[in-house]
A and B are shown apart, each in its own frame.
Chain A
């Protein structure tokens, strides 16, 4: 009995020593080395791909923002996004999805309301949006709640509203959208997309110039 206790203790001690040595290698040296290389070679990306407008940082090109006025292009809904519930000395963005199933009544309601709003907001005096025109990304929340992109179809749908509210010709705004439409990577990876923050920064510039 005594013998087996000492044996177990000896084995556990060996396990702990192994863990500590490997912690030094994988938990200290490895992340520090990668950080060194990352900061030296890809400084902007390693620090969050910050993006500037008028000389001020206005966010990250990778992180979608909510709360644009209707003068601007609207992002996807983000019903799963939260705020931190612990360590409340900070106001952190809590990424997340809604996790609602296809038959969930709440999700059905959100989608219906979002669709009605997209149709209403984007219909102008001489441009009527039909419900069948609204693409799926415009009425659903993304996985992270931070999706920086919308589909080109959703951007196109917003052109008339944005042009009218900014006093710009629709063709000019459409051109801006086309310039900011990114196709599939190498022609086949992912889906075509428009970065909302970058588009809105360019829109603000354009509106200020004219």
Chain B
């Protein structure tokens, strides 16, 4: 069997598995966020928080909940890293420096999981499990909560109420993320992912001498790392490390996990707005872009242009033999089109155009299918932009899902789509203009520029993957990337929640013969076009200087 055919079969198996899970999981999540019953364990948690889960919140209150909880997360994680040196159960690892601790705290709370540290040498058991892995859960739950609030904005009328943030947060963790993670973690251990609390482990080598490994609660962290589209590896090599991703099955399983919730949420959305077809249209948009990118990635990686790859006879640099080019390409597209950022191969050693696809995938705004929650709300904002464009063409006030897209709504949507490009381009320009940041590059020329563009793209879009040749553990990168991650996560949430509030207050407009049918393939086509054109126009000059220059030269 040729590697290309094996790649195609793996993709088909992945699609089949996702299709099987789509309905039950999507419907289940819709029930979770619509139910008015609380589980007993949830009641205990609400008592611990001191919050009443039945209070309906308007958008400012919902937003305050999001921000307060996330601020507490940043503070707690920062302090935890700063005192690691005196924490028991930390292998005697030293405390993390202030700039790196800030960067890491911002990174995990914003669901980015950019890492300027090397997991195996820097983070002990306590920070990994009680700090980083916890944010993997809760940052994902926050993302879903905000998406659900926006969906309620479409579904509800003549009220400003969007639900209760604490209830949405706790339910996301207890009823969705935890059960999936427990099962996933045990499957991963069965594949060979380690799960223990041993200290540093010294074993003899076949070739003489000995080697030292870290033990750790890797499987439990690996599971939520993928399920929550987080992506922060226990080890520096992330999902390329055999202890995180031991065999071809675990590899495909991890790709499945990171796509599972983002795709299924479109079903949840369809359920909650009362039209499954609307959910399918969004799903079709996401799937079209995702599949298109995978095919392009296969094309460029199997063709392996680039001097070193041509001499080697294949683009295997940075790729593991057990996965090969076919599966590594599926992983690398899936991780950059969701906001995961886990890697099973190193994107910096992709072909020039392959690295460009990783960059462009993130620059689409992480919406195909995007991060848990953030992918859905990002795509719905793009849908609003698309109906607005369609409205301009025919000279009608645009509507989406029975809500008028007026001045206020379109302003909020426009602000949303301007934030990340502004962060990416301004920070990249500043880093290139200043004398010292460029010293962090490993590669020179177009690829060196791509390293920096990739870093700010990844941080601002909350992805977390890297062209990892860049030495990002400097005060400049730790602080600016940390800032980009926080602004890139929470400013868009402000606009999404404001939008949700404004939509929820409206009364529904009845559909007429002139209403754009947003559940039809025509709209999916319009939406795909709008996304590609808007992103293309925004980033083309930057992409031309980096990956396009590199890819076309070889």
Contacts and interface: CB of A to CB of B under 8 A. Distances in A.
Interface of A: 8, 11-12, 14-23, 25-28, 30-31, 33-35, 37-39, 41-42, 45-50, 53, 56-60, 62-69, 76, 80, 84-87, 89-104, 107-108, 110-112, 115, 132, 134-137, 139-151, 184-191, 193, 197, 200-201
A112 B313 CA distance: 11
Given A18-B69, A108-B308, A42 B190 contact: yes
Contact of B45 (A21, A90, A95, A136): A21
Given A11-B68, A101-B447, A143-B320, A22 B45 contact: yes
Contact of B323 (A23, A76, A85, A191): A191
14 contacts: A26-B178, A31-B133, A62-B192, A84-B121, A92-B200, A94-B118, A98-B317, A103-B447, A103-B554, A136-B313, A136-B315, A140-B314, A143-B343, A191-B327
Nearest to B141: A22
Interface stretch (B22-30, B211-219, B280-288, B478-486): B211-219
Contact of A90 (B200, B349, B554): B200
A102 B10 CA distance: 26
A35 to B, nearest CB: 5
Given A103-B553, A103-B554, A15 B69 contact: yes
B508 interface: no
Contacts of A197: 206
Contact of A31 (B173, B217, B235, B236): B217
Interface string B240-258: 1111001111011000000
B174 interface: yes
Given A27-B134, A30-B220, A45-B190, A87 B346 contact: no
B232 to A, nearest CB: 14
Interface string B175-216: 000100110011001111111111011011111110111110
A27 B130 contact: yes
Contacts of A14: 49-51, 68-69, 166
A86 B121 contact: yes
Given A53-B206, A94-B236, A149-B322, A16 B195 contact: no
B312 interface: yes
B211 A93 contact: yes
A47 to B, nearest CB: 5
Contacts of A193: 321-322
Contacts of A89: 92
Given A30-B182, A39-B196, A92-B121, A102 B349 contact: yes
Interface stretch (B70-78, B260-268, B360-368, B426-434): B70-78
Given A65-B205, A193-B322, A102 B315 contact: yes
B322 A101 contact: no
B220 A31 contact: yes
B258 to A, nearest CB: 17
Interface string B304-329: 11111101111111111111101100
Contact of B241 (A25, A68, A92, A144): A144
B545 to A, nearest CB: 14
A183 B242 CA distance: 18
Contacts of B468: 96-97, 99
Interface residues of B, number: 131
Q: What are the nearest 7 A-B pairs in CB distance?
A: A102-B306, A190-B248, A136-B314, A143-B240, A191-B324, A99-B469, A95-B237
A141 B317 contact: yes
Contact of B311 (A49, A115, A188, A189): A115
A34 B204 contact: no
B138 A22 contact: yes
A12 B248 contact: no
B48 to A, nearest CB: 4
B246 A62 contact: yes
B312 A18 contact: no
A95 B236 contact: yes
B345 A65 contact: no
B247 A185 contact: yes
B120 interface: yes
B10 A189 contact: yes
Contact of B203 (A33, A50, A96, A186): A50
Given A22-B45, A141-B317, A94 B120 contact: yes
B242 A103 contact: no
